[in-house]
Structure 1
């Protein structure tokens, strides 16, 4: 029987994104103000802080200005400042600049950032304050107290297992990290948050979470490029290559040193099982407007992630006995503004204030920690989330109903025609189609254009690495479901919604049907789209061995 070493902390943060980094920093600031010594730890599954962090990103600076009022003087990494917004509607070959930019998307004066660099900067600040930062450690399972309802900590994953799950000569068992308060800030579809939702009723009475999957690139441009003379350097698009019934859109932001951030997001409530997310991204890049922007460029980094966009009504209960939820793990995101970093950071900071009160009171029970939810609701975070509380649900509507709902929300501060507009689980929205109708012609990626790369090249440019002789961290529970149900009904959509080419159909010898799905798990970008969108819930994403996965540096 494997023995697990145990280490005790006052507070344990799971996930090294902006929410938990800001929360850990704020907690140590408060401890210093009150003259208290705390043992605080933060673990992250990436090999380094920031290596799994990817976002657009135009950042509202309100939260970082609260955390560090002189953040610019302290070297906070800013790529560019937004000098103007461009909003375009795209058709197949044309683009139309929309004269009015929605108020939530007014970004002039906001910094354009690399989230990976922001997290590294915050990580350095956290270490300076004495926080124990442990990259390369994945939270594998929640540890509960004897009462079965109090979170006592987290066990990290074992290292050095072979592909059959047996210990190798370099085997290291996971560690039990125990804490008075555990803060789960794993990002969208966090595996520990999902596990806890199966144990405790944290989602009772809440709407289903809604998600979008985005693919992002950093492209190096020549010296003479569009943004040198453009009055705006923050572009968003609507329309092509999606139809108006499928939510999603693109973005292009100017970065420093003649680079741009370019990406496209697709809402995972789409109905067409033939939709290929990466192919959609390439069609977006092939549009004449985008080709004009990236001409002469070279993709230097690519990645993907899912974003929880359901917002206010899909947020879980934010506190349980011994634990809190922060950032996008708790569906904290402004879909109308297409932003979440500032909200995530502030959620972590408010969690820190609640934790300090709990420690001083000697009570980390749910009733004490529930003050976090009230703090958030009373803050500018709550105000912004309530304004977008029905937005994602309205986007999922079809035809004129979509625009009527959105217009009503625009003039009523988010309430719209019906408050708490219903939502449908993304895993349930695909419409059955014959497998022979799913052979849609793919976009022909030019072989001689370094600004246009295929899917496997994109995986390479993400820096993704996984040891091949370990158990797959992606679990297909029953291959018969793939063969007998998913293929004839939907044509195995996992082969199209995965942006990393993880899923591969193994065709039958007679060419009629499939024998199963082959998993190329070493390609996994950790976007977790498969865990969200699989129509039979036959796929579960778990953390691989700590330190593996993407290695973002500029995204």
Structure 2
């Protein structure tokens, strides 16, 4: 550690301002008060404010919220609508069929439809009322270890005010070392600090590779008289078109308040077609007659994208190390069959808080003391729910009838299926080379700037903002690989899997050869590039704190 940097000491530091960290911080303060323990607790969030980087479907199973804040309705929890009926629809190219049986994990009647951005802001307010020190606009850039390198002792925030060459400008501010007896990492899917911890402490040893989905979501303003005015269901999930049965993914449409609708589409990053454009698939989904009827005469008012860790139980890392715990999406804590992560993320943070209180009571913060988190996890409904879904993502990645056989057998055997501990394959290894004859996509989207917006308009609607004269936060290790290998073999899939047009291939004026251009100010912080790049040549890192999307209602 650099001894010249400013240091601030806390008892507990939460990294990330999502539902896992916020629920954990709230539960910790509740328990500290109950046990007469004085704690200094901090929470670090890279977004400009709590909620500005929060994006999800989002249907909330209230089980964890009921445990954490039983009077959440009286405390004005921002619920959009309550699910009054579920609908599961199979789409062909030009028709639709309602599936007569909705899988039990997707029974959402009575659950809440929320804006995760608004929900996390509400949790943040409650955490601050309880005494949590929240620091928005600060990105955790480096994990701090003790001298032996085996104990985590805090996090260093990023420097601010650097020019594009990494040199200090007139407004330079050096990052701060936030020290803690226990650091809780809740960065969300593909956390950059988690990647570094994985390399140093080998927390994913013996686990299945983590796998991900990328989801694009919009909030659309509908006219007063719309599909949901007369529909018995307001929670719709779709399967089939435009992906078919071989590529995992599907869509969702949820009724929100004030005649708004949340619509989104997720694609598992295990897909094989290097020419697949994730954003284009979302647009095709919106043009399907069934979907188009739901959203007709609407206007897109916000858009965003992010990756979701979908591997579940078999891909979870070790949950504790000396001085640190791992919660939420960065620890693959997700319920894949239910297509939900909020309630399980919250519960993981709450269990971590219980383990932390126990550690303070014993005044010991090594791995042995913090292993109480694993014990609590193993005894909870969280473990039970995740364990039942342990093979789901791997089964979903199968093709055709094989997929249905695996998923069907898992459904009736409480998750075991035909083969238990079904293996997953790292997403960056699944692309197939592009052949000599690339099949042209004949489906053209008519972007009208209202209901159908192009990628750059989507970036604008996400309110994403980055200072352009700073060091690029997207690291491409070897540009030659992009041109001489990736372009030749895969036709630069980064230009298609990125939903924000960050990556662009252009011709060099002098040589006439293609070269990669990075429009990093378009970045939505979804981290798809870090996951899917077939050469592991791209590394996503945090830009200056406070930058990126500015979500308010997604």
TM-score normalised by length of structure 1: 0.98
For structure 2, list consecutive stretches of 5 or more residues without a partner in the other structure: none
Give the drift of 1:511. 9.7
Name 1:263's counterpart in structure 2. Answer: 264
Summarize deviations over 1:208-262 as a string: whole Å, max 9, x none.
0010000000000000000011000000000000020100000000000000000
Distance 1:240 1:453 in 2: 20
Question: Do the aligned partners of 2:284 and 2:445 also contact (CA within 8 Å) in 1?
Answer: no
Partner Cα separation in structure 1 for residue 160 and residue 166 of structure 2? 10
2:225 corresponds in structure 1 to: 224
In the alignment of these two chains, the number of paired residues is 553
Report what 1:489 is aligned to: 489
Q: Does 1:358 align with 2:359?
A: yes
RMSD: 1.3
1:525 corresponding residue in structure 2: 524
Are positions 1:177 and 2:153 aligned together?
no
Distance 1:181 1:304 in 2: 31
**Where has structure 1 moved over 4 Å in runs of 4 or more?**
508-513
Q: CA contact under 8 A between 1:435 and 1:488: conserved in structure 2?
A: no
Q: Give 1:293's aligned residue.
A: 294
Distance in structure 1 (CA, Å) of the matches to 2:43 and 2:175: 16
Q: In structure 1, the residue corresponding to 2:415 is in which secondary structure?
A: coil
Is 2:94 the counterpart of 1:93?
yes
Deviation at 1:436, TM superposition (A): 5.7
- Kindly state the Cα deviation for residue 435 of structure 1 after the two structures are TM-superposed: 6.7
Matches of 2:503 and 2:244 in 1, distance apart?
26
CA distance in 2, matches of 1:33, 1:229: 48
| Conservation of the 8 A alpha-carbon contact between 1:435 and 1:491 | no
User: Aligned pair in 2 of structure 1 residues 191, 400: CA closer, same or farther (>3 Å)?
Assistant: same
Q: CA deviation at 1:201?
A: 1.3
Mapped to 1, the partners of 2:434 and 2:426 lie a distance apart of: 19
Q: Which residue of 1 aligns with 2:505?
A: 505
CA contact (8 A) 1:445 1:454 kept: no
Match of 2:148 in 1: 147
> What's the CA shift for 1:442?
5.9
**In 1: Cα distance, 2:325 partner to 2:436 partner:** 44
- Contact 1:282/1:445 (CA < 8 Å) preserved in 2? no
Is 1:165 the counterpart of 2:166 in the alignment? yes
Deviation at 1:400, TM superposition (A): 1.8
CA contact (8 A) 2:51 2:116 kept: yes
Secondary structure of the corresponding residue to residue 238 of structure 1: strand
* 2:455 corresponds to: 455
CA deviations on 1:414-453 (whole Å, 9 max, x unpaired) are 0111110011000000001147626545632332x61111
Contact 2:212 2:310 in 1 (8 A): yes
Q: Which residue of 2 aligns with 1:414?
A: 415
User: In the alignment, what sits opposite 1:307?
Assistant: 308
The verdict on how the C-alpha distance between 1:143 and 1:454 changes in structure 2, with shifts beyond 3 A counting, is same
Q: Does 1:540 align with 2:539?
A: yes
Work out the CA distance in 2 between the residues paired with 1:277 and 1:510: 32
| Cα distance in 1, alignment partners of residues 284 and 67 from structure 2 | 41
Quote the residue 2:432 is aligned against.
431
For 1:10-409, what aligned pairs fall within 5 Å after superposition?
A: 10-409=11-410
Q: Give the alignment's TM-score, normalised by structure 2.
A: 0.98
Shift of residue 509 of structure 1?
Answer: 5.4
d(CA) in 1 for partners of 2:490 and 2:3? Answer: 42
**Separation in 2, partners of 1:90, 1:253:** 17
Contact 2:473 2:540 in 1 (8 A): yes
Change (3 A) 1:511 1:437: farther
- Say which SS state the counterpart of residue 357 (structure 1) adopts: helix
Change (3 A) 1:157 1:413: same
How far is the alpha carbon of 1:399 from its aligned partner? 2.1
Q: Secondary structure at the match of 1:116?
A: helix
1:437 counterpart SS class: coil
Between the aligned partners of 1:52 and 1:129, the Cα distance in structure 2 is 23
Once residues 144 and 325 of structure 2 are traced to their aligned partners in structure 1, the CA distance between those partners, rounded to angstroms, is: 14
Tell whether the 8 Å contact from 1:438 to 1:491 is kept in structure 2 after alignment.
no
Partners of 1:314 and 1:427 in 2: how far apart?
A: 16
Instruction: Give how far 1:375 is off.
Output: 1.0
Following TM superposition, by how much is the alpha carbon of 1:158 offset from its aligned partner in structure 2, in angstroms?
0.2
Contact 1:435–1:487 (CA<8 Å) still a contact in 2?
no
The alpha-carbon distance between structure 1 residues 407 and 510, as it changes in their structure 2 partners (threshold 3 A), is farther
